[in-house]
Amino acid sequence: MAIIVQKYGGSSVADTEKIKKVAEKVVNTHRKGNKVVVVVSAMGKTTDNLISLARQIHPSPPTREMDLLLSTGELVSVALLCMAIEKLGYEAEGLPGFFAGIRTDDAHTKARIKTVDTRRIIEELKKGKIVVVAGFQGLSPQENITTLGRGGSDLTAIAIAGALKAEICEIYTDVPGVFTTDPNLVPEAKIIPVISYKEMLEMASAGAKVMQSRAVEFAQKYHIPCVVKSTCQENGGTMVTEVDFKEGAIVSSVTLDDKQAKITFFNVPDKPGIAAKIFGALGDANINVDVIVQNVSTSGYTDLSFTVNITDMEKAYEISRKLGQELKCKDVTADNDIAKITVIGLGMMNHPGVAARMFKALADAGVNIEMISTSEIKISCIIRKGEGHKALKAVHQEFIR
């Protein structure tokens, strides 16, 4: 008998009517003869609200208690969904993360799953019950409740699917699948029927909010097939799986990230050890650097720019300004009026000319490129923020028809 893991996000359980709908879906899957494990997120904006409550009391709340607080959101969803399933005449067993055997490290608010002990889940499934597990939470070695980072219910679902060797992990959300770009910005966006783990990971880091990137990483590592689909539709969705690069689209998606900032060092000495020093200091401060560009040096000096997440801009700028003085740079500037446009596609690996097409599309739209970075399956350009929408439309039209 096949085991199916279904994950319902916060928007799918936002109110009691929606919870009743989810119960019907779950029961239907169960009645088809499947063993069903359901993972749920907190209702609607519950997690945001809990975070805001904590901040009203303490500017940086103790993380152990923060996890205690945040874990309650998912428990509410579990309890209500079980009641809704029972109301339909079926037996459900609701389990907090720790009863479901989710063991994590002790990095509170961003814990990593170490092991999943499936004994309890299997026991309940054997009794013919539908098992409902609280997403986003686990138990640390010190037996404290931990949470898995924002969007962590995806990870719970994938990890349980992996441990149970489930047939599939279905990720239910409020959109009908993964789109070629944000349909709110570009109405021509289409659903991607099949996408590789690799592309999903690039999409997550390029700013698309589809699945938690740790969850995609986990799915890739253990070859767990998953499908992202809408709670309101029976069919369709996007299958996330292993894809041979020869079968991949040249460009499967285009993303726009306007939550970036650029730091520039003007006239840094062009000699060994300078970049190591700058990026070492940023790394020590836990700041992720994205696109890096260094100019050709003239008379022993060069300009160096890099981008960081906008939330890290102040911190990065402060560190950079100090280093700039130390290195006797002419100036150090911070600029948050930028956006990053990225094209992603597995097929890029064996098709030359994608970069040229992207640059031409931007040029034809009158968009200036300030920085470029590439990997095997993606090309990113930094542009002015105000031109983001126009750029996204032009590049999407060039590659996706």
Nearer to ligand ASP, 102 or 274 (CB): 102
Number of residues forming the site for ligand ASP (CB under 6 A): 13
Question: Which H or E element spans position 77?
Answer: helix 63-87
The tokens describing 136, both together, are 């986003």
> Any contact of residue 351 with ligand ASP (CB under 6 A)?
no
Question: Positive or negative, the Cα torsion across 148, 150, 153, 159?
Answer: negative
136 sits near ligand ASP (criterion: CB under 6 A)? yes
- CB atoms near residue 235 (< 10 Å): 7
Closer by beta carbon to ligand ASP, 42 or else 261: 42
- Residue 237 interaction partner, one of ligand ASP, Mg ion, none, beta carbon < 5-8 Å per kind: none
Among residues 239, 333, 342, the alpha carbon closest in space to that of 290 is found at 342
Report whether 77 contacts 47 (CB < 8 A): no
- Closer to ligand ASP by Cβ: residue 70 or 348: 70
| Contacts with ligand ASP, 8-47, as mask; x by CB under 6 A | -xx------------------------------xx----x
Backbone angles phi, psi at 112, to 5 degrees: -105, 140
What is the C-alpha to C-alpha distance for residues 249 and 230, in angstroms, rounded to an integer? 23
Judged by DSSP in three states, 163 sits in: helix
238: which strand partners?
A: 228
Measured from the CB atom, is 166 or 215 closer to Mg ion? 215
Q: Quick one: which of 151, 176, 177, 388 contacts ligand ASP (CB under 6 A)?
A: 151
Decide if residue 320 touches ligand ASP (CB under 6 A).
Answer: no
- Tally the C-alpha atoms within 13 A of residue 72's C-alpha that lie toward its C-beta: 9
The option from Mg ion, ligand ASP, none interacting with 388 (CB < 5 to 8 A, set by class) reads: none
What is the pattern of x (binds ligand ASP, CB under 6 A) and - over residues 42-71? x----x------------------------
Which residues make up the interface to Mg ion (CB under 5 A)?
10, 41
Binding partner of 207, given ligand ASP, Mg ion, none, CB within 5-8 angstroms per partner class: none
Identified binder of ligand ASP from the candidate list 20, 21, 120, 150, rule CB under 6 A: 150
290 binds, among ligand ASP, Mg ion, none (CB under 5 to 8 A by kind): none
Which segments of 93-196 does DSSP mark as H helices, in order? 119-126, 153-164
Report which secondary-structure segment, H or E, holds 269.
strand 253-269
- Answer with the entry of Mg ion, ligand ASP, none that 152 interacts with (C-beta below 5 to 8 A by kind): ligand ASP
The secondary structure of the chain in percent helix, strand, coil, rounded to multiples of 5, reads 40, 30, 35
Smallest distance from ligand ASP to CB 135, Å: 5
Residue type, 38: V
The rounded distance, in Å, linking the Cα atoms of 381 and 323 is 26
Assess 137 for contact with ligand ASP (CB under 6 A): no
Which residues of the chain form contacts with ligand ASP (CB under 6 A)? Answer: 9-10, 41-42, 47, 73, 135-136, 150-154
